[in-house]
Amino acid sequence: MAQSTLDSMPGASTGTVVITEPLNFWGGKRVKPREEKNAEPVFEPATGRVLCQMVPCGAEEVDEAIQSAYAAYQKWSKMAGMERARVMLEAARIIRERREKIAKLEAINNGKTITEALVNIDISWKSIEYYAGLAGTLAGQHIQLPGGAFAYSRREPLGVCVGIGAWNFPFVIATMKSAPALACGNAIVYKPSPMAPVTAVILAEIYKEAGVPDGLFCVVQGGAETGSLLCHHPKVAKVSFTGSVPTGKKVMEMSAKSVKQVTLELGGKSPLIIFKDCELENAVKGALMANFLTQGQVCCNGTRVFVQREIMPQFLEEVVKRTKAIPVGDPLLGSTRMGPLISKPQLEKVLGFVSQAKKEGARVLCGGDPFVPSDPKLKGGYFMSPCVLDNCRDDMTCVKEEIFGPVMSVLPFDTEEEVIQRANNTTFGLASGVFTRDISRAHRVAASMEAGTCFINNYNINPIELPFGGYKMSGFGRENGQVTIEYYSQLKTVVVEMGDVESLF
């Protein structure tokens, strides 16, 4: 087993890691790509160096992975929930034991700080623990019918599920999809983003070590073409997708051809509403947490910050002071609070949003520039300074579109009625937030938000027990929480006659 990448982590530092092991996994082992010809370099965001090569899987490889998952599904689905739970708990234990090594590899591949990566890995093993706890509780209903007849329902798995993930939470997304899928008795073939391909295969190795049947969790590498092969494959029962709205639409269309179930976790442009009666320091901290985690590359970020006019000057002063103080630099240092963006094109795109905002009349209060850390090894990294934009209007590009970078747009408002209408005036609906000390107002606003989540007096609190997902074009279906069992299982009704058949014919 190729554990050497992980084993080299304790001594590894930024700019030193090169990964040469195969990144595909099916049939219980890492699998070398059949052909190397379409290899794409994967960059270490902190240095701009090549970390490894990602070789996309073609049709035969995708089919091999799916067949291997199907074979594993035949065994796994026949096990009792409690037996599955035992294996899953062992996987969670192994992740917990290796949390530091996995977090380091994640930070190297993604650019997020080691502090955040550790939190992410902890969310991941908790997710597996949580669904292991539910695996033994899956049950149907017994329904009495006239004449002693009865029916019962069985909660059954779907079969082979596919997970397609984004690059911002590579290990978390792989576990959030696989944990409920496996708990319900499914197998899953997971395709990570081509920009962050290295930790999903570590998860595959851990599941294997914990004792899942070979093929139960497979990893196929690739981009749009490989994703499309997965969505079209006739043996796939469900596709759970995390990514942008345009790709989500394509995934839904492709999956519709063979009527696969679909979960879509898509983008957002979420509002955070700060009333003048808030506890200001908490609201400021909340606004930072809503905008700057993982360099602002978080789907549910509250990037439209509506601030009641009376407190705008104090709010801006405090938010700018704290934003300027965010230490940007080497993601592997414990003191760093912001690392590089995922890629050069992403950095250029985000900087482009800032220039466009300036052209449209926004005022840059801080940041929004490329940032070159003093450490020479980080010179080629994709860093920028976190940005706060003032003077924003609802019709500006920076306020309407998902930027997916560390850019906060601040907008003044006067009344509750007005801000609710403006907050909901978007095609997205992933999350929302409100800061106020008025308890009735807090719940009134929460009820009015056209979004899958509303945070009251905090932001970006997403523990595994809580359902997470979008309204409107931010998607449908849910991840996390008990409800996700429904998205990875189906009900069979069994009707039992106890007497004679009464025929009309």
Residue 247 touches ligand NAD, criterion: CB under 6 A = yes
Please give the full DSSP string across 416-467, using - where no structure is assigned.
Answer: HHHHHHHHT-SS--S--EEE-S-HHHHHHHHHH--SS--EESS-----TTS-
Residue 227 touches ligand NAD, criterion: CB under 6 A = yes
Instruction: By CB under 6 A, name the one of 62, 102, 200, 430 that touches ligand NAD.
Output: 430
| Whole-number Å distance between alpha carbons of 334 and 116 | 10
CB of 342 to ligand NAD, least distance (A): 8
CB of 409 to ligand NAD, least distance (A): 16
Site string for ligand NAD, 461-500 (x = CB under 6 A): ---------x----x-------------------------
Could you identify the residue written with the tokens 């990448």?
5
Q: What tokens does 113 get?
A: 């700080």
Residue 236 touches ligand NAD, criterion: CB under 6 A = no
| Whole-number Å distance between alpha carbons of 209 and 28 | 9
Residue 243 touches ligand NAD, criterion: CB under 6 A = yes
Residue 180 touches ligand NAD, criterion: CB under 6 A = no
- Closer CB to ligand NAD, 221 or 308, in the complex: 221
SS3 390: strand
- Closer CB to ligand NAD, 243 or 406, in the complex: 243
Instruction: By CB under 6 A, name the one of 191, 233, 260, 472 that touches ligand NAD.
Output: 191
Residue 164 touches ligand NAD, criterion: CB under 6 A = yes
Please give the full DSSP string across 74-85, using - where no structure is assigned.
Answer: HHHTTS-HHHHH
Residue 159 touches ligand NAD, criterion: CB under 6 A = no
Q: Applying CB under 6 A, what is the total number of residues that bind ligand NAD?
A: 30
Residue 167 touches ligand NAD, criterion: CB under 6 A = yes
Residue 407 touches ligand NAD, criterion: CB under 6 A = no
Closest by CA to 262, choosing from 244, 230, 238, is 238
- Closer CB to ligand NAD, 172 or 305, in the complex: 172
Site string for ligand NAD, 319-358 (x = CB under 6 A): ----------------------------------------
Residues carrying an active site annotation: 265
Burial code (b: 16+ CB inside 10 Å, e: under 16) for 393-416 equals: eeebebbeebbbbbbbbbbbbeeb
Residue 220 touches ligand NAD, criterion: CB under 6 A = no
Residue 163 touches ligand NAD, criterion: CB under 6 A = no
Question: Long-range contacts: 462-470, Cβ < 8 Å, 24+?
Answer: 462/123, 462/300, 463/123, 463/126, 464/123, 464/126, 464/127, 464/130, 464/176, 465/130, 468/265, 468/300, 469/263, 469/265, 469/430, 470/264, 470/265, 470/266, 470/268, 470/428, 470/429, 470/430
- Contact set with ligand NAD (CB under 6 A): 164-169, 191, 193-194, 223-224, 227-228, 231, 242-244, 247, 250-251, 265-268, 299, 402, 404, 430, 470, 475
